[in-house]
Structure 1
Amino acid sequence: MTADIGFVMAGALVGMCVGLTGVGGGSLMTPLLTMMGIPLHTAIGTDLLYASITKSSGALVHFNKKNIEWSVVGWLALGSIPASLLTAWALHTLFGNANNYKGVMTVALGLMLMLTALSLIFKKQLQKFHDANPVKSRFRRWVSDNHTQATLLMGVMLGILVTLSSVGAGAFGVVVLLSLYPALSTIKIIGTDVTHAVFLTLVAGLAHAKMGNVDYHLLSMLLIGSIPAIIIGTLLSSRMPETVIRPLLGVTLMALSIKFVFY
């Protein structure tokens, strides 16, 4: 019973962060669960299904407001979903059990936390880069000429990394889309990213569930805490200075990434 209360509170804490900042779901939930004694593979698998459920409401809002570029979602998913399934199959086939692939997941989690932290800390600079819409660089020219291939490749990378770590479908996905589609408005970038994340985390979560890496009782406790907290956090977000919240979250994630990669 005490453990259940702790998991409800963990869900509320992460839900509040998501409501206030729009990010922090997977990047906070998985490390938090491991610190509470949940095995890493179970934390990742459970968090993936948790993310799919919580992000679906946001995707529905963006769908109603026509903030989704479905062609981009399709190309990302064409790369990410097969990559996710193949990654889960490789973990199960090549390593056999969770104890054998724990090291791979730990390093992947640390690296994705680091990338997410950097994307939060340098969000303002990335936004300026996006708004300036530079098209003269060699990278920009290549992306402009090979949009489909670049989006497919980024989808593959996200599929692998999110399946290994449960982190990256949110903040890191936004950074990827900002790089690939500088002409898209920020709200469409966010709507497209959230929608793709719903599909990717659902598929990856179901793949982990098949491997026995999902604790459904834990999932229900997290949702009980997080759903009202997300609503409250969203209502409070307009009163909280983003310039303080996001860098603070970024520094926290950077510290966690160092723990997982080096210790």
Structure 2
Amino acid sequence: MQLTYIISGFGVGLLVGMTGVGGGSLMTPLLTLLFGVSPSVAVGTDLAFASITKAAGTFTHRLRGTVRWDIVRHLCFGALPAAVATTLALKQFGALDKEIGQIIRYSIAGSVMLTVVALLFKGKMLAWVNAKPGRQLQGRSLAAATIVSGAVLGVLVTVSSIGAGAIGATLLVMLYPRLSAAEVAGTDIAYAVPLTAIAAFGHWWLGSINWGLLAMLLIGSLPGITLGSWVAKSVPEGFLRALLATTLTLVAAKLIY
């Protein structure tokens, strides 16, 4: 079983490296559906996994100067309190309770479908924003919208471990269309580090992290991400996005039914 976890970690890492989609969209459903891990433990373990891998990515982006720390700050103003409040709510209602586990399962499915929408329509949404420059938020309105977006992502990530990747990047593109692709990626990863760390700590407090499983996933995923990043340019992006969107749609359907 340990070898299976390592191979799964490698496969998810490979896809993350090739597509840039957050591992939670793939890892959490995989643990739930393929290995029968309870939804709450799958979420908690994936959050710990994400906090470690995203910290390494943030270090690289910081060296390259591709992190907008002002945006990170506003996102964290919303995301971190939301993560703490959501953790307390899970504690209150029983994160390991079977009925709450079913709600978390549905939340994972919903977050997966939001990721699919982000994958398929990100370009069209950006085109719409750029076509209406007069409607783009500025100043305090933009800061407030960023904080609210952070709060929404904080709840999504804490409940389902999904949202800090494709969904977060899409919101950044909508709110800040002038950011370069590298700045979107760097900023999205940077704010996700404290968010996933706090959410992971909360799940550790709730007793919903499998540390042995986490170690096996990390052993497989780190070389997978490296290899995926190397081969990403040789595979058509449109094909990858379509394949990933189809796979995630099927996963969401399986989670619900």
User: Is the pair's TM-score, using the shorter chain for normalization, greater than 0.5?
Assistant: yes
Deviation at 1:41, TM superposition (A): 0.7
**Which residue of structure 2 aligns with residue 46 of structure 1?**
45
**Which residue of structure 1 aligns with residue 217 of structure 2?**
222
Deviation at 1:183, TM superposition (A): 2.1
* 1:138-157 deviation line (CA, Å, top 9, x unaligned): xx34x555011111111110
Deviation at 1:243, TM superposition (A): 1.2
* 1:95-120 deviation line (CA, Å, top 9, x unaligned): 36432411221121111100101111
Secondary structure of 1:146's counterpart equals helix
State whether residues 38 and 101 of structure 2, in contact with CA within 8 Å, keep that contact through their aligned partners in structure 1: no
- Quick one: which amino acid aligns to residue 245 of structure 1? L
After superposition, residues 199-210 of structure 1 pair within 5 angstroms as: 199-210=194-205
Deviation at 1:24, TM superposition (A): 4.1
* Counterpart-to-counterpart distance in 2, 1:59 and 1:199: 11
Q: Do structure 1's residue 73 and structure 2's residue 52 form an aligned pair?
A: no
Secondary structure of 2:134's counterpart equals coil
After superposition, residues 113-262 of structure 1 pair within 5 angstroms as: 113-129=112-128, 132=130, 134-137=132-135, 140-141=136-137, 146-261=141-256
Among 26, 29, 33, the alignment partner of 2:27 is: 29
Q: Given the two structures, how large is their TM-score scaled by the length of structure 2?
A: 0.94
State whether residues 48 and 201 of structure 1, in contact with CA within 8 Å, keep that contact through their aligned partners in structure 2: yes
Change beyond 3 A, Cα 1:116–1:96: closer
Secondary structure of 2:133's counterpart equals coil
- Quick one: which amino acid aligns to residue 132 of structure 2? P
**Which residue of structure 2 aligns with residue 13 of structure 1?**
11
Change beyond 3 A, Cα 1:133–1:189: farther
- Quick one: which amino acid aligns to residue 218 of structure 2? L
* Counterpart-to-counterpart distance in 2, 1:9 and 1:240: 21
**Structure 2 residue ranges without an equivalent (≥5):** none
Q: Percent identity?
A: 38
Q: Given the two structures, how large is their TM-score scaled by the length of structure 1?
A: 0.92
* Counterpart-to-counterpart distance in 2, 1:11 and 1:248: 19
* Counterpart-to-counterpart distance in 2, 1:159 and 1:167: 10
* Counterpart-to-counterpart distance in 2, 1:231 and 1:220: 17
Of 215-224 and 106-115, deviating more is 106-115
Of 180-189 and 236-245, deviating more is 180-189
* Counterpart-to-counterpart distance in 2, 1:133 and 1:167: 30
* Counterpart-to-counterpart distance in 2, 1:63 and 1:44: 27
* Counterpart-to-counterpart distance in 2, 1:244 and 1:96: 38
State whether residues 112 and 168 of structure 1, in contact with CA within 8 Å, keep that contact through their aligned partners in structure 2: yes
**Which residue of structure 1 aligns with residue 88 of structure 2?**
89
* 1:39-77 deviation line (CA, Å, top 9, x unaligned): 111110000010111122221111011111101101111
**Structure 1 residue ranges without an equivalent (≥5):** none
Change beyond 3 A, Cα 1:114–1:194: same
Secondary structure of 1:168's counterpart equals coil
Deviation at 1:254, TM superposition (A): 1.5
State whether residues 10 and 222 of structure 2, in contact with CA within 8 Å, keep that contact through their aligned partners in structure 1: yes
* Counterpart-to-counterpart distance in 2, 1:136 and 1:127: 14
Deviation at 1:127, TM superposition (A): 4.4
State whether residues 26 and 166 of structure 1, in contact with CA within 8 Å, keep that contact through their aligned partners in structure 2: yes
* Counterpart-to-counterpart distance in 1, 2:2 and 2:213: 8
Aligned pair count reads: 256
**Which residue of structure 1 aligns with residue 2 of structure 2?**
4
